[in-house]
């Protein structure tokens, strides 16, 4: 190892993972405040020597080219990460997209063995497809216990609502993924499940006693560590029982005292994104990076300005706030993780794809993505976790009926799973339903002049916990329309995609004869499964 040969800025740069667009061209960048242009990104990798990149956006095939490009620019081999908690297809189109982890928790209520098998298969497929497109760090599983229905951040991302079920299923996911050369990540330590505040926007407080934390929040992390999880991601949460000054991400008492010393975790401690409002608003982007490093984090994720943040941490070392020994220990852990996933750290350093590499190394075997077995597993998880009732299937519509397909989403513009070709729109259209699409921001879209002239309305609601929106509940539009249609007698059936907590708010008001179907997934496959059941096409 050549850690001693690195300059201080090179050592510190290894601790940073920067955000980048998965798309190949600058004009495709969607979040310019977070995603640097190609020139700037190349500067971070080639000149500064940052340790890794977290990617969002683009298709799976594009990402294979993108990851090859990034490694070819890098001074040192890169950890390439993505938030792929629901499979590679959740972030990168074309790959396998599973329903959210809570779908597997639903299956576990009736068939624990099947749920365990599904979680392990989901972990394995995610790891295989990640490697196929050049990713080597899976930022999953979520091991938070979602015992607060109002949680806007975790919600269906959790493997359940009790420490027992989360521990069991998250460990199965880790087992499946760990049989392939990727890093796994338990998040968000010490537990983001019992919060009703979105840490992307502001700082949540977890007011529980040490006893309660030990009983509910910690067991799933203990289990993940026992099952060999490679990294633990911190939560931007204030936990007064452990540290009444600093949130967990910036707390040495929590990262070193609890995670390292009490729980014995030896792997990578990675922060949640440093641009998130919970800490950026109070401490500022650069000071947050310094405090996180000081607290014992090895990997500093998504700083707002990587160059400035690296400089700030270097200054903190020079001033004696952080010891150089601690920095070297972090880099040693990072390099051990890189070697585990097959990256070669040589002396002197060689670019990871130096001359002499295979010309075809950027190409992928497409059969490794969305293969029939993986797609079948994903569909089975959705099917086995469905909740439904009422008079199913719907009778064939009569010829003179005026039918409406009313779709409510929380944000039309952020809705990539809906289009004229997707089943939620296409299938009812074939049966003569007229589309009306609304959301909380835009109100009604399309022709609403004849709002009350329909003889029957199919209500489809797409709502789940969404980061940055600060709410996991029923949008006002969905609630208003539901009650209005009940009142007028137009409500023919209800389909809910996403959060089971939304279903729980509807059910007490729903007459037993009206059919309802709930599916955890929102993607095309989920829509097809739900509508086939509704119309008796299964």
How many C-beta atoms surround the C-beta of residue 219 within 10 A?
Answer: 18
Query: Can you spell out the DSSP letters for 119-136?
Result: HHHHHHHHHHHHHHTT--
Q: φ and ψ at 138, to 5 degrees?
A: -95, 115
**CA dist., res. 256 & res. 422, Å (int):** 48
Q: Rounded to whole angstroms, what are the CA distances from 485 to 349, 397, 493, 514? A: 66, 18, 10, 12
Inter-residue contact 496 to 506 (CB < 8 Å): yes
Q: Rounded to whole angstroms, what are the CA distances from 91 to 66, 139, 393, 418, 451? A: 14, 12, 33, 15, 36
Work out whether strand 387-389 and strand 516-519 pair parallel, antiparallel, or are unpaired: antiparallel
CA-nearest of 398, 420, 396 to 407 is 420
Of 116, 194, 198, 272, catalytic: 272
Which strands, in side-by-side order, build the sheet including 231-234?
A: 185-189, 231-234, 268-270
Of 188, 192, 200, 236, catalytic: 200
Using a 10 angstrom Cβ sphere, with 0-12 exposed, 13-18 middle and 19 or more buried, the burial of residue 345 is: middle
Using a 10 angstrom Cβ sphere, with 0-12 exposed, 13-18 middle and 19 or more buried, the burial of residue 97 is: buried
411 is catalytic: no
Inter-residue contact 182 to 128 (CB < 8 Å): no
CA-nearest of 521, 410, 433 to 103 is 521
For residue 23, the number of C-alpha atoms closer than 13 Å in the C-beta half-sphere is: 12
Inter-residue contact 500 to 520 (CB < 8 Å): yes
188 is catalytic: no
CA-nearest of 179, 257, 183, 192 to 221 is 192
The residues carrying an active-site annotation are 200, 272
């Amino acid at each position: 190892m050549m850690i001693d040969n690195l300059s201080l800025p090179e050592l510190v740069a290894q601790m940073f993972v920067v955000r980048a667009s998965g798309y190949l061209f600058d004009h495709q960048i969607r979040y310019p405040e977070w995603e640097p242009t190609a020139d700037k990104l190349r500067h971070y990798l080639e000149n500064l020597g940052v340790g890794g990149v977290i990617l969002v956006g683009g298709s799976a095939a594009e990402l294979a080219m993108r990851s090859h490009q990034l490694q070819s620019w890098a001074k040192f081999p890169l950890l390439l990460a993505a938030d792929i908690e629901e499979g590679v297809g959740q972030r990168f189109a074309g790959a396998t997209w599973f329903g959210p982890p809570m779908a597997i928790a639903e299956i576990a209520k009736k068939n624990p063995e099947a749920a365990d098998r599904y979680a392990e298969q989901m972990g394995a497929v995610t790891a295989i497809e990640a490697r196929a497109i050049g990713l080597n760090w899976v930022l999953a599983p979520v091991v938070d216990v979602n015992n607060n229905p109002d949680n806007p951040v975790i919600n269906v991302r959790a493997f359940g609502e009790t420490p027992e079920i989360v521990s069991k299923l998250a460990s199965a996911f880790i087992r499946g993924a760990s049989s392939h050369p990727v890093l796994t990540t338990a998040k968000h330590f010490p537990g983001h499940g019992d919060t009703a505040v979105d840490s992307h926007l502001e700082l949540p407080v977890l007011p529980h006693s040490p006893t309660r934390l030990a009983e509910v929040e910690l067991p799933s992390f203990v289990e993940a560590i026992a099952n060999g999880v490679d990294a633990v991601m911190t939560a931007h949460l204030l936990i007064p029982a452990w540290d009444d000054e600093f949130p967990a991400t910036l707390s040495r008492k929590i990262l070193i005292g609890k995670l390292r010393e009490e729980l014995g975790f030896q792997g990578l401690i990675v922060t949640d994104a440093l641009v998130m409002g919970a800490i950026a608003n109070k401490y500022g982007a650069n000071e947050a990076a310094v405090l996180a490093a000081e607290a014992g984090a090895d990997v500093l994720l998504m700083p707002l300005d990587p160059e400035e943040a690296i400089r700030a941490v270097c200054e903190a070392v020079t001033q004696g706030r952080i010891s150089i020994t601690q920095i070297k220990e972090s880099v040693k852990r990072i390099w051990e993780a890189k070697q585990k996933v097959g990256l070669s750290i040589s002396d002197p350093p060689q670019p990871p794809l130096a001359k002499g590499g295979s010309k075809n190394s950027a190409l992928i075997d497409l059969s490794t993505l969305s293969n029939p077995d993986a797609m079948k597993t994903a569909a089975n998880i959705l099917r086995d976790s469905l909740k439904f009732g009422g008079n199913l299937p719907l009778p064939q519509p009569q010829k003179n009926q005026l039918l409406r397909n009313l779709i409510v989403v929380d944000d039309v513009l952020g809705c990539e799973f809906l289009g004229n070709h997707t089943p939620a729109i296409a299938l009812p259209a074939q049966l003569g339903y007229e589309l009306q699409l609304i959301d909380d921001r835009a109100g009604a879209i399309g022709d609403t002049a004849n709002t009350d002239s329909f003889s029957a309305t199919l209500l489809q609601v797409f709502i789940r916990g969404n980061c940055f929106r600060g709410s996991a509940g029923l949008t006002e539009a969905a609630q208003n329309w539901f009650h209005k249609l009940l009142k007028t007698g137009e409500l023919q059936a209800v389909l809910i995609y996403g959060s089971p907590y939304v279903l729980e708010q509807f059910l007490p008001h729903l007459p037993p004869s009206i059919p309802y179907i709930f599916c955890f997934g929102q993607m095309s496959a989920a829509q097809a499964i739900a509508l086939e059941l509704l119309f008796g096409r299964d």
